[in-house]
Amino acid sequence: MRELVKRAVATALTAAARVVIRRHTPTVIAIVGPVGKTTIKDAVFASLAQLGHTRKNAASQNTELTVPLAVLGIPAPTRSIGWGAAVCAAWWQTLTSRTFPRWLVLELGTDQPGDMERFRRWLSPHIVVGAHFPEIPPHIEFFPSADALFREDWSIVSTMPAGGSVIVQADDERSEPLARSFLPQGVALLRYGFAKEAEIHIRGYRPLFSRRKGVPVPRGVRGEIVNRLSGERLLIHRPGVLGAHHLYPWAAAAAVRVALGFPLAGLDAVARRTPPTEGRMRLLEGKGGMVLIDDSYNASPVAVRAALKTLASLPQSRKIAILGDMLELGEATAQAHTAIGEHAAQSASCVIAVGVRARRIAQQAQRAGCRQVWVVTTAHEAANLVLSHPQWHTPHTAVLVKGSRGIHLEAAVRLLLAHPHRDEHLLVGSKRSA
């Protein structure tokens, strides 16, 4: 019965969204891919909002129920009884709206086979931007193979009209061939990334530092984005985050501007003032001045490896990795957690594993020579372990917190904040961040 109700609600919302798009003919930009969609969506939105009326999904609301609501600018209900009212609001908005955004920036999620097919029935995006497609992606347990998941994501390209553009990450060797396999006639392809062949090229990445109690601490990143088609260059600063991958969303945003025929001028100022997305390598101040890296929103093997590599690169003498379960990896679960244990031992002086699956991280880290390894079951236990060692509470300590969304490691971040009343709204799930 519940599934029948869901289907009925989805059908009603989709029909309303289809009608309003036909009425107002906005330019639709779709963001797809297993890793990094939300940060790209946020960057593209911020870039276009400077140029005209733009709308996006809230947070990671990328399902068949929430994407139509995003199109209509209606918040998703927080309780199941609110969906009837949402359907009524959707149709009222559809039939009475006189103004509408020029651009819709929509993150499309594919958790199960057939998810993208449901979007393809009513969405025909003018631009499709691909995020990262790692070897072992999240949600792989629901698909026969990683390739099947990737093809599901890229299949939206087949609905694009002539004159559109597909934007792929040049550093991801899987993306371009898959995108081209769905590419309709008359649709262009642009590449972004660090690779030399990228039309929107990233170079010169470096982390930025300030001092806390006389100790160098990271405060953000910078890099240059070059439009090789026009020769335009921009120096991008991203305060409050860490990791080279934080330049990808802004290169993707630059590619969207190029595809729409706009110059890159002003994108540097937008990047500097746009707040970081919650729980994605966000820099916060921990107890006693510790460097707290909040990467608690989600976790996949490639993302955890990148986070650990970034942790290892910091000048802090003590590096603590709080690592939670990586969920929905299917048959790759055991192997992936064991491999992360090896990386953790090379990157951190202390490893705190949270969850049943993460035990394999701890076991392998210990075998690989890490001397300080703990296994706990909850985020609170992990935070309390750090809090029980006051000698760690200095700017000489960096703490990385990363795990799948279902492990809720943002609770550990909250307990480790130096200024919880000031910074709590910056965390995943806080009312002001949602």
Residues 17, 90: contact at Cβ < 8 Å?
A: yes
In a domain, 248, yes or no: yes
Check whether residue 72 and residue 160 sit in a common domain: yes
Quote the number of domains for the chain.
2
Give kind and range of the element (H or E) at residue 223. strand 215-227
pLDDT band at 80 (very low <50, low <70, confident <90, very high): confident
Based on the fold, state whether residues 72 and 180 are members of the same structural domain.
yes
The per-residue pLDDT for 379 is 98
238, β-bridge pairs: 221
Assigned domain for 432 exists: no
Digit-coded pLDDT (tens) for 186-204? 999 999 999 999 999 999 9
**Same domain as 287, residue 261:** no
> Are 250 and 167 contained in the same domain?
yes
Which residue, of 215, 250, 273, is where some domain finishes? Answer: 273
For residue 125, what is the domain's CATH number?
Answer: 3.40.1190.10
Instruction: Looking at the structure, tell me whether residues 261 and 289 fall in a common domain.
Output: no
My answer on whether 57 and 89 are in the same domain is: yes
Which residue type is seen at 215?
V
CATH number of 375's domain: 3.90.190.20
Is residue 434 situated within a structural domain?
no
Is 77 found in the same domain as 211?
yes
Q: Is residue 349 part of a domain?
A: yes
Same domain, 263 and 397: no
pTM over 0.95: no
Read off the pLDDT of residues 19-69 as tens digits, 9 standing for 90 and up: 999 999 999 999 999 999 999 999 999 999 999 999 999 877 899 999 999
Token pair for 328: 């929905």
Residues 244 and 299 in one domain: no
Return all residues near 145 (Cβ < 8 A) that are at least 6 apart.
none
Q: Give mean pLDDT, residues 293-319.
A: 97
The answer to whether the beta carbons of residues 355 and 324 sit under 8 Å apart is: yes
Q: Distance (Å, rounded) from C-alpha 215 to C-alpha 316?
A: 9
Residues 194 and 315 in one domain: no
Q: Tell me if 46 is assigned to some domain.
A: yes
Report yes or no on 433 lying in a domain.
Answer: no
Could you tell me the pLDDT band of residue 6, with boundaries at 50, 70 and 90?
Answer: confident
Q: Which of 215, 240, 273 is the last residue of a domain?
A: 273
- Per-residue model confidence as pLDDT tens digits over 103-132: 999 999 998 999 999 999 999 999 999 999
Say what percent of the chain tops pLDDT 90.
Answer: 91
Which CA distances in Å does 393 have to 46, 289, 307, 422? 36, 7, 21, 19
Domain span at residue 353? 282-426
Indicate the average pLDDT of the chain. 95
Mean pLDDT of 217-223: 98
* Residue 227 binned pLDDT confidence (cut-offs 50, 70, 90): very high
Q: What share of the chain has pLDDT > 70, as a percent?
A: 99
> 244 with 310, same domain?
no
Alpha-carbon distance of 130 to 192, in angstroms, equals 10
- Can you give the pLDDT at residue 1? 46
d(CA 430, CA 420): 12
Contact 352, 385 (CB under 8 A): yes
DSSP string, 30-91: EEE-SBSHHHHHHHHHHHHHTTS-EEE-STT--STTHHHHHHHT-PPPSSGGGHHHHHHHHH
Are the C-beta atoms of residues 44 and 105 closer than 8 Å to each other? yes
Task: Indicate if 140 and 249 belong to the same structural domain.
Answer: yes
Q: Does residue 161 lie in a domain region?
A: yes
Examine the fold and report which residue of 238, 273, 308 is the final residue of a domain before the chain moves on: 273
User: In this structure, is residue 92 part of a structural domain?
Assistant: yes
Instruction: Please report the pLDDT score of residue 432 as a whole number.
Output: 44
